[in-house]
Amino acid sequence: MTPNIDPHALAAELSGRHLIDGALVAARSGRSFAVVNPATGREIAQAAQGDAADVDNAVAAAARAQPAWAALPARKRGTLVSECARLLADHIEELGRLVALETGKALRTESRVEAGVVADALQFYGGLASELKGESVPFSPEMLTLTQREPIGVVGVIIPWNAPMMLMALKIAPALVAGNTVVVKSAEEAPLAVLRVCQILNQKLPPGVLNIVSGFGPECGAPLVQHPLVGKVTFTGSVETGRIIARAAGEKLIPVTLELGGKSPMIVMDDADLDKAVVGAVAGMRFTRQGQSCTAASRIFVHEKVHDAFVAALKARVDAMKMGDPLDEATDIGTLISRPQLDKVLGYIERGRAMKGAQALECSALPASETLREGLFVRPTIFTGVDNDCPLAQEEIFGPVTCVMRVRSGDEAIALANQSDFGLAATIWTSDLKTALNATKRLQAGFVQVNQNIVVQPGLSYGGVKQSGLGREASLEAMLDHFTHKKTVIFNMN
């Protein structure tokens, strides 16, 4: 398959299709909906509007393909998944451009990077196939007692739009290597790049092993969760939808993995390397993605001695970032995903401004270009003078808005950091080992870093506590714990 680096042409080519049983097909109902470029407000393609009938076709195809897929030697599956990674390596530019076009994420700082991570995740899991091992158990001298890992069957994968290819890859790769077959339901805002990834992977995978449908949540996602042949669901998205999915899975008594929201704290002590902390805040807050990340460092607790210097340096750094056309190499920050998301973010900023004592520092500058006039740009905004218990500091905004709050001590910072419904990620910045160790023990989060703020990495377990979700992703354990079940086998030797 030749890469197509014209994202408009590629979007048109993929228009109105699911990928089921190895073939690109329209929705059974014939319906479709518009996919819009958030930088211009213009339609770039239609997406197939899937419903229960399409889901049923996709799940049936996956169920038919599953026994033969599971019967392959594990390393054969791993090799195929690694070969998929190599195929993708030729499509990084193409995929980066396509995801930039449909999501508004800047190509250089976000979209191309995301495309690379997809190949990396597949490569990582492809190499882990031989780790699908069991144990022998010294239960009785007369018996040979073993455990073995078996696939669950058909896995339903439901993904959001903020890093659609990466989040999909971290779910489908372990599911496939473990011997499951998969039906993905893409996010309505970003159905194209993930469809393209699946199309590329289908060159290597047998038909039906990896299927993808597009459509709206209640109409297309819900029937996937409820389908009797789906034995596990893995979901990344909002807390609200996570609860709905967990309820439906509970009805069927099937396992779910949920990666939900966050309001991730960053603590900066007075002995921290301030320059590094500022760089870390920009990266952690994902300003290049307009803050649309569940790990966004959206609550920054800074020791009072360095608070003002930190805020000034952070503002200067974000001011230097360029907002613009997502496909332009010079652009650091692209757009938000959709009009409702834009209204939500602007609403938070407005309410924040109206709060007593709050100060809103708007950074960077909106693009001047006439063609981007309808673009969904929001200026990154740093709030100071707010308390941890206000909505701005408690609710997930999913936009380029962060709160910098003054603290007097590490203890105060940790206590405030933990005053949150969420517990996904956290960072502490200090040059004192004891302070760092103490914080890593006490911070209630699934992913804690000292003096850095990097994103999810293949090989490191990733996931949340409290309302941030259930289960872990991205690691070997994630594959073993969430995409297999353990069978105990006992041979009586008498």
CB under 8 Å to 282, separation ≥6 — which residues? 314, 317, 318, 321
Q: Which is nearer to ligand ADP, 47 or 269 (CB)?
A: 47
Instruction: Give me the residues paired with residue 233 across strands.
Output: 156, 256
Q: Write down the least CB distance from residue 224 to ligand ADP, Å.
A: 7
CB of 297 to ligand ADP, least distance (A): 20
DSSP H or E segment with residue 317:
helix 307-319
Tally of CB atoms within 10 A around 368? 9
* From 19, 225, 323, 342, residue interacting with ligand ADP (rule: CB under 6 A): 225
At closest approach, how far in Å is the CB of 413 from ligand ADP?
Answer: 29
Among residues 159 and 163, whose Cβ is nearest to ligand ADP?
159
Residues 6 or more apart from 185 whose CB is under 8 A from it?
50, 55, 156, 157, 158, 159, 212, 213, 214, 215, 220, 221, 224
Q: Any idea which residue has 């290819």 for tokens?
A: 165
Q: Report the nearest approach of ligand ADP to the CB of residue 245 (Å).
A: 5
The pair of three-digit structure tokens given for residue 193, joined into one six-digit string: 């790049």
Q: Closest Cα partner for 132 from 87, 72, 198? A: 72
Options 110, 259, 396, 473, the catalytic residue: 259
Q: Distance between the two ends of the chain, CA-based, in angstroms?
A: 58
Shortest separation between residue 401's beta carbon and ligand ADP, angstroms = 16
Shortest Cβ distance from residue 408 to ligand ADP (Å)?
36
Pick from 41, 134, 217, 385: which binds ligand ADP (CB under 6 A)? Answer: 217
Name which position in 21, 51, 54, 188 contacts ligand ADP (CB under 6 A): 188
- Closest separation in Å from C-beta 469 to ligand ADP: 12
SS3 127: coil
In the complex, minimum distance from the CB of residue 439 to ligand ADP, in angstroms, rounded to a whole number? 30
Output the six-digit token pair for 401.
Answer: 């808005």
Could you say whether residue 185 binds ligand ADP (CB under 6 A)?
yes
Among 78, 160, 280, 464, binds ligand ADP (CB under 6 A): 160
* Pairing between β-strand 136-137 and β-strand 42-48 as defined by DSSP bridges: unpaired
Exactly one of 14, 84, 119, 158 binds ligand ADP (CB under 6 A); which one? 158
Longest dimension (CA), the chain: 83
**CA separation for the pair 297, 294 (Å, rounded):** 9
Closer to ligand ADP by CB, 32 or 430: give it: 32
Number of residues that bind ligand ADP (CB under 6 A): 17
Least separation in angstroms between residue 274's CB and ligand ADP is: 35
- Find the binding residues for ligand ADP in span 309-368 (CB under 6 A): none
Helix 92-103 vs helix 192-201: crossing angle, to nearest 10:
160
Q: Which stretch binds ligand ADP (CB under 6 A): 156-164, 355-363, 371-379, 433-441?
A: 156-164
Cβ distance to ligand ADP smaller for residue 162 or 475: 162
- Complex with ligand ADP: residue 85 or 220, whichever CB lies closer: 220
In this structure, are residues 349 and 381 in contact, taking their beta carbons and an 8 Å threshold? yes
Return d(Cα 179, Cα 29) in angstroms, integer: 32
Site for ligand ADP, residues 375 to 414, rule: CB under 6 A: none
Q: Looking at this protein, which amino acid is placed at residue 317?
A: R
For 2, the 3-state DSSP assignment is: coil
Which one of residues 27, 99, 222, 278 is an interface residue with ligand ADP (CB under 6 A)?
222
Q: Is 213 in the site for ligand ADP (CB under 6 A)?
A: no
464 is an interface residue for ligand ADP by CB under 6 A: no
Nearer to ligand ADP (CB atom), residue 159 or residue 205? 159
Nearer to ligand ADP, 156 or 410 (CB): 156
Closest of 479, 417, 494, 426 to residue 141, by C-alpha: 494
Query: Annotated catalytic residue: which of 294, 363, 403, 473?
Result: 294
Q: Which is closer to ligand ADP, CB of 92 or CB of 194?
A: 194
Reply yes or no on whether 198 is catalytic.
no
Q: Is 189 a catalytic residue?
A: no
Instruction: Read off φ and ψ for residue 46, nearest 5 degrees.
Output: -105, 155
For residue 91 the two structure tokens come to 């499509």
Distances in Å between the Cα of 29 and the Cα atoms of 35, 46, 89, 157, 184 are 18, 14, 35, 22, 19
From the list 7, 358, 373, the residue with the least C-alpha distance to 190 is: 7
Sheet order of strands, 143-151 included:
136-137, 143-151, 484-492
Contact assessment for residue 490 and residue 144, using Cβ atoms and an 8 Å cutoff: yes
Within 229-248, the residues that bind ligand ADP by CB under 6 A are 237-238, 241, 244-245
Considering beta carbons, is residue 206 or 217 the nearer one to ligand ADP?
Answer: 217
Residue 36 tokens read as 């819009």
The set of catalytic residues is 259, 294
Contact residues: ligand ADP, CB under 6 A: 158-160, 185, 187-188, 216-218, 221-222, 225, 237-238, 241, 244-245
